Amino acid sequence: MLFILRLCQFDLCENLKIGFILDIVKILQKYHIEDYLTSFKTNSLFPSKEKWKFVCKKAVRQHETSHWRMRLEQHKDFSLFKEVHNSLEPATIWKVAKIRPDSLSLMKFLSGLC
């Protein structure tokens, strides 16, 4: 209820755009998923937790991959790096840590060492 109240106040007060609703709007805009908020405001519809999680992960992955590729293309210093790392994915260290959570502290140490 508090979220809906703040959202209504945010929409009504043009000169008073502060608080956590502004933060939410900025994040949604950054990842180009603000349509979900618009849909919620007009139809009171919002995806399930699982679907929303999927949408967010996909949007963040697309944004970060695009940003990463743009940086590689803009800087000549990355020409060799671009040949070695042609896709954006987690390092093997973090993949192992996800499979074997008991090794997380060791993987953090190895990551820092690298």
Q: What span, in angstroms and rounded, lies between the C-alpha atoms of 34 and 18?
A: 17
Handedness of CA 91, 92, 98, 103 (dihedral sign): negative
The set of residues, in sequence order, having a beta carbon less than 8 Å from that of 45 and lying 6+ positions away, is 39
Long-range contacts at 42-45 (CB < 8 A, ≥ 24 apart) = none
The set of residues, in sequence order, having a beta carbon less than 8 Å from that of 98 and lying 6+ positions away, is 90
Q: What span, in angstroms and rounded, lies between the C-alpha atoms of 52 and 35?
A: 12
pTM above 0.75, yes or no: no
pLDDT for position 62: 93
Q: What is the pLDDT along the chain (114 residues), one digit of tens a residue?
A: 888 888 888 877 766 677 788 899 899 999 999 999 999 988 989 999 999 999 999 999 999 989 888 888 887 777 777 777 777 777 788 888 889 889 888 888 888 887
Tell me the HSE value of 36 on the side-chain side, using a 13 A CA sphere: 18
